[in-house]
Amino acid sequence: MAGITLDSPAAARRRRRRRVPDENRKRAPRAEKSPGDIQSDALKDGPIESPANLEVDTCQASPEGRFSTDGHPTERFMWPRFLSRLRETFSLDSEPEDEQDVIKSIQAQALRSPPIQPAELQRLRKAVDAFPPRPVANFLLSVCIDHGTDSFFYFNQPQFLAEINEFYSDTSSRLRTDSSFICLAHAAFALGSQWTTLERPESSRSSLLTEDSDPGRIFYNQARSLIPDVIDMPCLRAVQAPFVMGVYLLPASAIGSSYVYLGLALRKALALDLHLTSDDATLSEEEQEIRRRIWWSIFSLERSSTVKLNRPRSINSAIITNTFPQPYAPLDKLQKFNNIQHQIADARLMMILDRVAEPSEWPQVLDGSTPFAAELKSWKRSLPDSLKLQNIHPRSSYYRATFHLYTNYYFTWIAMGKVSVVTVVRARLRYHFGRESDPPEIPPHIEALSRSCVKAAKKMLRLFEEIRSTGNLTRFSFTDFQACSIATIVVILAGILQRDGGYEAQVTFGLECLKRMAEGNVTAKMGVSFVEALQSIADEAVQKLQRVKSPDATVLPAILPPSQQSDYNSWATWLSRQNNSTGVTGPTPELLQTSPSEITNPINNTNWTLESNPTGFTTWDGANVLQQLSVPNIPAAGLAQQQGSFEPQSLDSRFLSTMYNDDQAFLMGLTGFDVLGFSGLQDEL
């Protein structure tokens, strides 16, 4: 093979994957003191004279710290297995014993850890020192597992908690020299920080920090600093760490950093062949199941995010041969948050959404039926009783995880009929406004898709009525906000042609929920203004349509909508001290003083919309496209005519400088406009 020598890294990787019977396996000799112990002493004792002599612990502390017994990644064609099969193909005997001895010797040499670099040692030492006190760590991990796990599998919970315990109780633990463990721990702390308000006792008066701030940033910054070291490690934690970081960043940067980290986790999982059914006999059944769950969690979230943000498919699902997660009692019974049924249901649903998002793969429909309708209904019928929302107590940690299964279910219906709704509305408006001389002939299946989309949107809003009535509507969540936004948008669009008696109540409720969820997030507030802009345009389209249909009728103005006590306190106290010393800001006082039960109160009619500003955001093309879609001759006032404004300090120069890159794309994906395909109408209109 050109370009590959016997001593090249690629050749070495292939050689060290040769499978050797365990009884014949030879281990590399160890000194009396392991490299991990030397490095641990280095972290405690200060500067090192010869960092090049140190070795990094490459993720071998636990089953999750590696993906196979030798701690090295597989490749699509592994050298030893490939050569063995060639010998079988040519009817040759197995390899001679002396050849196996050579391979074992090379394998032992290849397993030596790479020398640690001074910069890596410095990053690792800083991240270890940044660990919170143990009570705070225990609290954050408990919150992360109970409220942040959702339908995913981040790590084997009892194993990870045991490793955290080892880290704090044993100052010489090898975990202190494992960058992948330290990175994953900080990522889990950061994710847990996002949900601490759900554990805030009503009697607690601990108040933290300022508007649009994030307490998890303290931990995220440490995890981020270790990513360059972790990404080269051939272990599962090198997949898990960027995955958890991507989940943490989803609310604030779904189209930016989160998108990148989720993609990084997906690529690393592919590099480790987690998407393939493994025939490695050295992997236990539990390890196989952990690999399987991690893969499907990453694929499911990454795929749903790319669909919601209208981003291209990262991989073709046809390459996946690994089976869905499945119950495994020895693993499941030990999980603090056992969500295996959620994982299975979510993975199955995402495979349907994967095909829904690719119209080229739709089955041909000529009658009034809709593609995938039978599969979606079958998915819902197959859910066990434990995943029926009405069977789950609203205060249970499983409630929101199950709620998200249903929001993704209705989103799949909406995604399937999204273009049809726009097509029907636009075609009929063009006819009524004189752009087309003949009535539009809309195919039956397009009509059916449009109806099913609108029906799903209304059911989605009813789902949010349930979650608000039970006190589970929380501060900004990308999944919740995007689901509520796109449902409200679809109802508004459908209302241009026909409004039933529940239209005003549905739209008003949707906007109220969006405003509540947008508290503390400037971009989300702009998303609310964006939806309100569409509502204003839709109302004007309705008035014009009424004038066209009944020139002598009096058109009424559109009705505008009115507009663990000690653990938490320990966390709040520690975070306040950190912020005083580092200048990092956290969540708003209003947010931290709001209990979940208060969320059921009516939403105040607050002015949230933007005034015109020098950056030109209010004349962004997205608003113009919406205007052209509904009423061709509406003055291009954009969002500037909307009432109210943000506080001036919310639109600082740093924020405005990003308005024309990530934030515009984020707004389109966040609100659901991009999913509906409005951006594709720009050139045509």
pLDDT tens digit string along 206-248?
A: 555 444 567 899 999 999 999 999 998 989 999 999 999 999 9
Distance CA 639, CA 620 (A): 9
- pLDDT given at position 207: 53
Q: How many CB atoms lie within 10 A of CB 606?
A: 11
Whether residues 239 and 295 share a domain: the answer is yes
Question: Is the model's pLDDT at 591 over the cut of 50?
Answer: no
Lowest mean pLDDT among 8-17, 158-167, 181-190: 8-17
Question: Is the model's pLDDT at 486 over the cut of 70?
Answer: yes
Determine, yes or no, domain membership for 683.
Answer: no
Question: Is the model's pLDDT at 498 over the cut of 50?
Answer: yes
Angle at 214 between CA 212 and CA 217, to 5 degrees: 140
Lowest mean pLDDT among 390-394, 410-414, 468-472, 506-510: 468-472
Q: Which of 632, 623, 671, 668 lies closest to 426, judged by CA?
A: 632
Supply the pTM of this predicted model: 0.73
Question: Which of 519, 549, 579 is where one domain is finished?
Answer: 549
Q: How many CB atoms lie within 10 A of CB 20?
A: 16
Question: Is the model's pLDDT at 644 over the cut of 80?
Answer: no
pLDDT tens digit string along 178-196?
A: 999 999 999 999 999 988 8
Question: Is the model's pLDDT at 623 over the cut of 50?
Answer: no
Give residue 619's pLDDT band: very low, low, confident or very high (50, 70, 90).
Answer: very low
Token pair for 256: 């930016």
Angle at 667 between CA 499 and CA 210, to 5 degrees: 115
- pLDDT given at position 606: 37
- pLDDT given at position 386: 95
Question: Is the model's pLDDT at 646 over the cut of 70?
Answer: no
Distance CA 157, CA 166 (A): 14
Q: Which residues of 490-514 are buried (b: 16+ CB within 10 A; e: fewer)?
A: bbbbbbbbebeeebeebbbbbbbbb
Whether residues 266 and 405 share a domain: the answer is no
Question: Is the model's pLDDT at 669 over the cut of 70?
Answer: no
Whether residues 341 and 228 share a domain: the answer is yes
Cβ-based burial of 374 (10 A; exposed 0-12, middle 13-18, buried ≥19) = exposed
Question: Is the model's pLDDT at 642 over the cut of 50?
Answer: no
- pLDDT given at position 501: 87
Running DSSP on this structure, what letter comes out for residue 523?
A: H
Determine, yes or no, domain membership for 289.
Answer: yes
Please enumerate in sequence order all residues whose Cβ is within 8 A of that of 433, keeping only pairs 6 or more positions apart, or say none: 544, 548, 631, 632
Whether residues 133 and 278 share a domain: the answer is yes
Q: Report CA dihedral (89, 94, 100, 102) to the nearest 10 degrees.
A: -60
| Residue of higher predicted confidence among 364 and 531 | 531
Q: How many CB atoms lie within 10 A of CB 378?
A: 11
Lowest mean pLDDT among 110-119, 301-310, 455-464: 110-119
- pLDDT given at position 137: 97
Give residue 108's pLDDT band: very low, low, confident or very high (50, 70, 90).
Answer: low
Q: What are phi and psi of 55, to 5 degrees?
A: -125, 145
| Residue of higher predicted confidence among 383 and 624 | 383
Under 8 Å between Cβ of 216 and 249: no
How many domains, the chain? 2
Give residue 143's pLDDT band: very low, low, confident or very high (50, 70, 90).
Answer: very high
Question: Is the model's pLDDT at 663 over the cut of 90?
Answer: no
Determine, yes or no, domain membership for 528.
Answer: yes
Q: Which of 49, 400, 329, 336 lies closest to 188, judged by CA?
A: 336
Whether residues 372 and 334 share a domain: the answer is no
| Residue of higher predicted confidence among 649 and 337 | 337
Q: How far is CA 284 from the centre of its chain?
A: 29
Per residue, the 3-state secondary structure of 592-629, as one string, reads HCCCHHHHHCCCCCCCCCCCCCCCCHHHCHHHHHHHHH
Question: Is the model's pLDDT at 496 over the cut of 90?
Answer: yes
Determine, yes or no, domain membership for 646.
Answer: no
Question: Is the model's pLDDT at 270 over the cut of 80?
Answer: yes
Determine, yes or no, domain membership for 605.
Answer: no
> What element of type H or E holds 87?
helix 79-89
Whether residues 228 and 178 share a domain: the answer is yes
Distance CA 198, CA 318 (A): 40
Looking at beta carbons, which pairs linking 466-470 to residues 24 or more positions away fall under 8 Å?
466/389, 467/400, 467/403, 468/513, 468/599, 468/600, 469/600, 470/394, 470/399, 470/600
Whether residues 313 and 376 share a domain: the answer is no
Determine, yes or no, domain membership for 424.
Answer: yes
Give residue 378's pLDDT band: very low, low, confident or very high (50, 70, 90).
Answer: very high
Q: Provide the mean pLDDT of the chain.
A: 75
Under 8 Å between Cβ of 363 and 371: yes
Q: Which residues of 61-82 are buried (b: 16+ CB within 10 A; e: fewer)?
A: bbbbbbbbbbbbbbbeebbbbe
Under 8 Å between Cβ of 387 and 340: no
Whether residues 353 and 442 share a domain: the answer is no
Mean pLDDT of 520-541: 89
Mean pLDDT of 3-31: 49
Whether residues 466 and 528 share a domain: the answer is yes
Determine, yes or no, domain membership for 343.
Answer: yes
Mean pLDDT of 535-555: 81
- pLDDT given at position 214: 76
Under 8 Å between Cβ of 16 and 70: yes
Determine, yes or no, domain membership for 576.
Answer: no
Residues of the chain with pLDDT > 70, as a percent, come to 64
Question: Which of 549, 576, 604 is where one domain is finished?
Answer: 549
**Most confident stretch, 296-300, 304-308, 428-432:** 296-300
Under 8 Å between Cβ of 336 and 147: no
Question: Is the model's pLDDT at 200 over the cut of 50?
Answer: yes
- pLDDT given at position 478: 87
- Structural domain harbouring 187: 118-198+213-360
pLDDT tens digit string along 551-578?
A: 655 545 544 444 456 677 777 777 777 7
Question: Is the model's pLDDT at 39 over the cut of 90?
Answer: no
DSSP string, 296-326: HHHHHHHHHHHHHTTPPPSS-GGG--SPPP-
Under 8 Å between Cβ of 324 and 275: no
Mean pLDDT of 358-376: 76
Whether residues 441 and 507 share a domain: the answer is yes
Question: Which of 517, 549, 581 is where one domain is finished?
Answer: 549
Whether residues 226 and 149 share a domain: the answer is yes
Mean pLDDT of 157-181: 96
Under 8 Å between Cβ of 409 and 349: yes
Whether residues 288 and 400 share a domain: the answer is no
- pLDDT given at position 288: 95
